[in-house]
Amino acid sequence: MTAIDSASEVQAAESVKTPDLLGPWALMWRQFRRHKIAYFSLFIVGFVYFVALFGEFLSPADYLKTNTRAPFAPPQGIHFLAPDEDGDSRFLLHARGLKMEIDREAMRRHFVEDPEKVIPLGFFVKGHEYKLLWLMPTNRHFFGPIDPKQKVYFLGADRLGRDILSRIIMGTRISMSIGLVGVAVSLIVGVSLGGISGYYGGWIDNLIQRVIEFLRSIPTIPLWMGLAAAIPLDWPPLRTYFVVTLIVSMIGWTTLAREVRGKFLSLRHEDFVVAARLDGLSDWEIIRKHLVPSFASHIIASLTLAVPLMILAETSLSFLGIGLQPPIVSWGTLLKEAQNIRTIIEAPWLLIAPGTTIVVAVLALNFLGDGLRDAADPYAN
Amino acid sequence: MIGFILRRVLYMVPTVFLVSIVTFIIIQLPPGDYLDTLAAEMGEAGADNTAVVEQLREQYGLGQPIYLQYWKWMSGILLEGDFGISFEKNLPVTDVIWDRLGWTFAISLLTLGFIWIVALPIGIYSAVRKYSVGDYVATLLGFIGLAVPNFLLALVMMYVAFKYFGQSVGGLVSPEYLDQPWSWAKFANLLQHIWMPVFVVGTSGAAALIRIMRANLLDELYRPYVVTARAKGMSEFQLLMRYPVRVALNPFISTIGWILPTLVSGEIIVAVVMNLPTTGPLLLRALLVQDMYLAGSLILIVSMLTVIGTLLSDVLLAWVDPRIRYQ
């Protein structure tokens, strides 16, 4: 009866002026759009994951290929005007080849750009073979030297002459996915333990809370170091990857569990939950149909904020040499190359390029999470 | 109050016990032990020394079941203050670790002070002048502080200090002071160096605390009691300091509990980069060569001191806020 009444009322109102009836998710989206930096960060994060997905296509060179003739080659700029035979300059996208010079006084060799050597660059060029999205075999690359035999280092090369740009791109895949997998693990553990703790209360709540307090009271780095150092060096890379992810997510779940518990505690005695229980719904149904939807937005926000923490944790461990091991490339293993001051002085791009990537990615994820958290409660103001 | 402290100390006992067990399990996790490493190294030299290794194994009790080894280790620590032997250095662990632990905690505490001094005024300013240019700058710097990993900041600062200021980097004192006894000159030199790790370790904590302080104070600023005080004609600064800041400080103190573990963690990783004479490099090395008693003792003591620090912050909080005492 009342449903029909209100429906006809709405219809009557519609003929006069359509009221804005937005669902909670639409309200959140609207609130989120207002947070300019967070909205902008959404695109950056999207771009980073795009890079992670299409890594091989975007990288100009094979990230594992060494080049004995270009150790510590400096970054090569992209130039637009090249001189032709008559001495006039015309438009040509190109890089300049490197020339080795030996500094007799310091007894060191270093590279300079040679304006004579013109390496034409182009889009969708042919390069090394790979499988796009693990499926389609191809050899096209987004950008690079048109002649596949030429080598250009846009962000310089490391001590073995490997292309830093390609390595950063391929490392993006590992680092960003560790964030995602780690968060998935934290989500499962955190939500189940936090849910049990908050929904049932009593001794089990007490136990879980003590375990969480215990885990949080130990300094993480020594603990992680101990665990990570226990990973045998001869394990296959994939297994190391998953164990490192597990170690990293060990702390993440505690925050989430606390949050879920708090939400459960505050919602447990809300009228709609009591009503559902009186209607004869089982515990599981109440949790799934009523409790989870009412705090899902908060969980999403906390998860987003947990991703950068995991990325930083993995980076720290790999940097210390006890996380991921070569040949796996992550942002942390890249920074490991820049561990001592002498290398940094000689080849600052080893530090600057991966460092900037990490900071930008983590910053964007933080802003995104912050915006999501503000938007998670659209009824707050 | 005394009852509260006693209760908290009692709660600490199982925590410390658990820490010791977890530590011991962690250092037992890698397959093999230090003697395997040693045997491999000696084997490369071409000598047959199975007998020597077996004798050593007997001596250190490394062949025994784990719970016996644990018992031996723990009873040594509790009854005689003996943390075992560092295999690699062939010295008692206690000879190696104390001054390094001292430096770790000295730096962590200095950092805590630094964080407070920086975060308190900036947080208050950010809240009072909400959405001003200063607030936005503080927020942005806060976000960047959270996004830059400690060790990356350390590397960048070392690079800048070396390249543009020509300062020697790494270590806590310049090389020429290393083996000298303490003097004013050495102390001044120490001050020139120590600000860098303190700053590096402190940034992310300060960034977090600024945000917490701002949020706390914002919750209080528009309460009726503030309006009343203002209506009485109290000066704005006096009013701010006397009421809302004091209330907002409570969560600020309780955060020491979780900030201390992160500071110690940060200090350890920064120490590896900056090559400081603290626990960081020692722990990393010990873990890599499976010098298990050394690694275990370091993890154990660092964790325990952190737990004690957390206890102190709880006591401080209870002292400041009577509501917690009587819960």
What residues of A are in contact with residue B152 (Cβ under 8 Å)?
Answer: 335, 351, 355, 358-359
Decide which of A278 and B43 is more confident. Answer: A278
Tell me the one-letter amino acid at A188.
I
| pLDDT-derived band at A379, boundaries 50, 70, 90 | low
Cβ separation B29–A227 shorter than 8 A? yes
Taking residue A88's Cβ as centre, other Cβ atoms within 10 Å add up to 8
Higher pLDDT, A149 or A5: A149
Taking the CA of residue B327 as centre, how many other CA atoms within 13 Å lie in the half-sphere pointing to its CB? 10
The DSSP letter of residue A75 is P
Rounded to a whole number of angstroms, the CA Rg of chain A reads 27
Query: pLDDT at position A18, please?
Result: 58
Mean pLDDT, residues B51-68:
72
Residue A6, pLDDT score: 53
Q: Which amino acid belongs to residue B319?
A: W
Record the tokens describing residue A242, joined without a space.
């998953």
Distance (Å) from the alpha carbon of B231 to chain A's nearest alpha carbon = 27
What is the structure's pLDDT at A46? Answer: 92
Report the range of poorest mean pLDDT among A180-184, B40-44, B276-280.
B40-44
Domain A45-51+168-375 sits in which CATH superfamily?
MetI-like (1.10.3720.10)
Supply the pLDDT for residue B32: 66
Taking residues A45-73, report their average pLDDT.
83
Per-residue pLDDT at B48 = 63
Q: Is the pLDDT of residue B208 over 70?
A: yes
Within 8 A of B18 by CB-CB distance, chain A residues are: 214
Query: pLDDT tier at B158 (50, 70, 90 boundaries)?
Result: confident
Distance CA A163, CA A154 (A): 8
Give the three-state DSSP class for A77.
coil
Q: What is the pLDDT of residues A172-230, one digit of tens each?
A: 988 898 888 888 888 888 888 888 888 777 888 888 888 887 787 777 777 777 888 77
pLDDT beyond 90 at B274? no
Q: Which domains does chain B have, with CATH numbers?
A: 1-93 (no CATH), 94-324 (1.10.3720.10)
A329-359 as b/e, with b when 16 or more CB fall inside 10 Å?
bbbbbbbbbbbebebbeebbbbbbbbbebbb
Measured between beta carbons, the chain A residues lying within 8 angstroms of B306 are 217-219
A:230-249 residues touching chain B, CB 8 A cutoff: 230, 232
Which of B147, B158, B261 is facing A218, going by the closest CB pair? Answer: B261
Calculate mean pLDDT across residues B131-154.
Answer: 84
Mean pLDDT for B24-49 is 69
Which pLDDT tens digit goes with each residue over A347-370? 888 888 888 999 999 989 988 888
Which positions in chain B touch A339 (Cβ < 8 Å)? 273
Q: Is pLDDT at A10 greater than 60 in this prediction?
A: no
Judged by a CB distance cut-off of 8 A, whether residue A381 touches chain B is no
Tokens of B126: 């950010």
**pTM, 2 dp:** 0.81
Distance CA A300, CA A293 (A): 11
Q: Which residue of B has its CA nearest to A348?
A: B159
Burial of A183 (0-12, 13-18, 19+ CB in 10 A): buried
Residue limits of CATH 1.10.3720.10 in chain A = 45-51+168-375
Q: Do A341 and B162 touch (CB under 8 A)?
A: yes
Interface test with B, best of A217, A251, A309, A357 (most B CBs within 10 A): A217
Asked whether the predicted pLDDT for residue A41 surpasses 80, the reply is yes
pLDDT at A381: 47
Q: Which residue of B has its CA nearest to A317?
A: B269
Signed CA dihedral, B182, B186, B190, B193: sign only:
negative
At A2 the pLDDT is 47
pLDDT, residue A1, reads 43
Provide the number of CB pairs (under 8 Å) joining chain A to chain B.
Answer: 128
Q: Is the pLDDT of residue B112 over 90?
A: no
User: Is A214–B162 a contact, with Cβ atoms under 8 angstroms apart?
Assistant: no
Query: Higher model confidence: residue A147 or residue A9?
Result: A147
CB nearest to B261's CB, from A219, A229, A315: A219
The Cβ of residue B203 has, within 10 Å, a number of other Cβ atoms equal to 23
**Cβ–Cβ gap A226/B27 under 8 Å:** yes
Picking from B29, B150, B303, the nearest residue to A218 by CB comes out as B303
Rounded percentage of chain A residues whose pLDDT exceeds 90: 4
Extended strands (E) in A32-187: 78-83, 89-103, 108-132, 136-145
What does the pLDDT read at residue A312? 87
Confidence band of A22 (pLDDT split at 50, 70, 90): confident
Helix/strand/coil (H/E/C) assignment for every residue in chain B:
CHHHHHHHHHHHHHHHHHHHHHHHHHHHCCCCCHHHHHHHHHHHHCCCCHHHHHHHHHHHCCCCCHHHHHHHHHHHHHHHCCCCEECCCCEEHHHHHHHHHHHHHHHHHHHHHHHHHHHHHHHHHHHHCCCCHHHHHHHHHHHHHHHCCHHHHHHHHHHHHHHHHCCCCCCCCCHHHCCCCCCHHHHHHHHHHHHHHHHHHHHHHHHHHHHHHHHHHHHHHCCHHHHHHHHCCCCHHHHHHHCHHHHHHHHHHHCHHHHHHHHHHHHHHHHHHHCCCCHHHHHHHHHHCCCHHHHHHHHHHHHHHHHHHHHHHHHHHHHHCHHHHCC
Tell whether A36 is within 8 A of chain B (Cβ).
Answer: no
Please check whether residue B21 is in contact with residue B70, taking contact to mean a CB–CB distance below 8 angstroms.
yes
Q: Does the beta-carbon distance from A229 to B268 stay under 8 Å? A: no
| ipTM summary value | 0.78
